[in-house]
């Protein structure tokens, strides 16, 4: 568990400087869907803006290491059980104004979130 916390903190330290990136947007809401596909191990999450296939818990996928994927699952599960909202931050890679609805549903979001937090 200590190893996982070290990885999570390292990941967050790396991402904090990018959190203030001017070309970013955020989506927040309560978790309505939280699942892991039993065949591929894909983490599927809907926090009010569509079901997104984020990562796989056993292999690197979408640029997300399995340990980070497991940490995200833990965060989403914690938020769901506690009835808290989560906030997912995204870089605006399109170069035009993007919003949460444009991420789609039942898909891999483009862009992927770079920072996820549980809100009070």
Q: Report pLDDT for 36.
A: 97
CATH of the domain at 42: 2.40.50
pLDDT of residue 9: 42
Segment 11-69, tens digit of pLDDT: 444 444 444 445 889 999 999 999 999 999 999 999 999 999 999 999 999 899 999 99
Looking at the chain, the number of H-run helices and the number of E-run strands are 2, 6
Q: How far is CA 84 from CA 35, 49, 90, 102, in A?
A: 17, 15, 20, 24
Q: How many domains does the chain have?
A: 1
Name residue 36's beta-bridge partners. Answer: 43
Look at residue 6 and tell me whether its pLDDT is greater than 70.
no
* pTM for the structure as a whole: 0.77
Q: How far apart (Å, rounded) are the C-alpha atoms in residues 31 and 53? A: 14
Q: b or e along 57-88 (b: 16 or more beta carbons within 10 Å of the residue's beta carbon)?
A: beeebbebeebbbbbbbebbeebbeeeebbbb
The two tokens of residue 92 are 């605006």
Containing structural domain, residue 95: 2-118
Q: What is the pLDDT of residues 70-98, one digit of tens each?
A: 999 999 999 999 999 999 999 887 666 78
pLDDT digits (tens, 9 = 90+) for 92-109: 876 667 889 889 999 999
Give the relative orientation of helices 2-15 and 66-82 as an angle to the nearest 10 degrees.
90
| DSSP-assigned beta bridge partners for residue 29 | 86
């Amino acid at each position: 568990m200590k190893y996982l916390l070290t990885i999570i903190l390292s990941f967050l330290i790396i991402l904090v400087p990018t959190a203030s990136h001017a070309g970013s947007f955020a989506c927040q809401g309560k978790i309505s869907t939280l699942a892991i596909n039993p065949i591929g191990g894909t983490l599927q999450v809907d926090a009010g803006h569509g079901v997104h296939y984020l990562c796989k818990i056993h292999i690197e996928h979408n640029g997300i290491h399995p340990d980070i994927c497991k940490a995200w699952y833990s965060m989403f599960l914690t938020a769901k059980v506690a009835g808290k909202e989560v906030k997912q931050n995204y870089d605006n890679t399109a170069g035009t104004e993007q919003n949460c609805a444009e991420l789609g549903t039942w898909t891999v979001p483009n862009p992927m979130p770079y920072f996820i937090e549980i809100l009070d």
